[in-house]
Amino acid sequence: MSIDLSFLEEKGIDTKLGKEYTGGTEKYLSALKRYFSNYEDNRKKAEDCYAGGDIKNYMVQVHALKSNSRMVGAISLSEEFEALEKAASEGDISFIAANGEKTLSRYGELVELLRPIGEAEIEMPANEITGGEALLLSKELLEALDDYDEEKSAELARKLSGYPFRLRQRGEMNRAIKLISDFCYDDAAEIIKEISETIE
């Protein structure tokens, strides 16, 4: 499906970088749709953590928003979330109080800008899987690794790699696939356990 993305570029979104991060136009559009659809839940988590004084999980949430924003080419917004993450890690509550809501408002403005894409009927890339499918696959993969089943593990890992992981997790997924081919099942399992926690 061909969609003119110039309206995003006019607002400072680096669509070229987004396509590089996600692996092409189809996967980029899919990432933009997920970014749009996950907004309400992600914003509420960040606001609830801050309101409840749970700065540790607030830091986890803004870290994810930093990564997701960078992945879709929203570099300026990603940097704002990075500043909030740094403040949370240092316990700088005054910085979060002064800047947190402004950054979340900018997040909301970007999501509203994405509405035409978020509500459009866009087919998922052929090998892309949903979060539910990925969670089931990761469970099956851990069982196969526990059984030292190289053939099944390799096949399940290939399927799991169809989930649109964030940048770091995608790199870790590729590393796990390499470890499986090298028969390092325990090391691969540790990676799968870690990255499965990021599946939404």
Predicted confidence at residue 105, as pLDDT, reads: 97
Domain boundaries along the sequence of the chain: 7-118, 131-196
Q: Give the dihedral of Cα atoms 81, 27, 189, 85; nearest 10 deg.
A: 0
Q: 91: left (phi > 0), else alpha (psi -120 to 50), else beta?
A: left
Predicted confidence at residue 34, as pLDDT, reads: 86
List average pLDDT for each run of 10 residues in the chain, which is 200 residues long.
81 92 84 91 95 95 92 95 97 97 97 90 70 89 91 91 81 90 90 87
Q: Which fold has domain 7-118?
A: Four Helix Bundle (Hemerythrin (Met), subunit A) (1.20.120)
Predicted confidence at residue 167, as pLDDT, reads: 72
Comparing C-alpha atoms, which of 42, 26, 41, 32 is closest to residue 11?
A: 32
Predicted confidence at residue 2, as pLDDT, reads: 60
Predicted confidence at residue 45, as pLDDT, reads: 94
Comparing C-alpha atoms, which of 59, 55, 105 is closest to residue 85?
A: 59
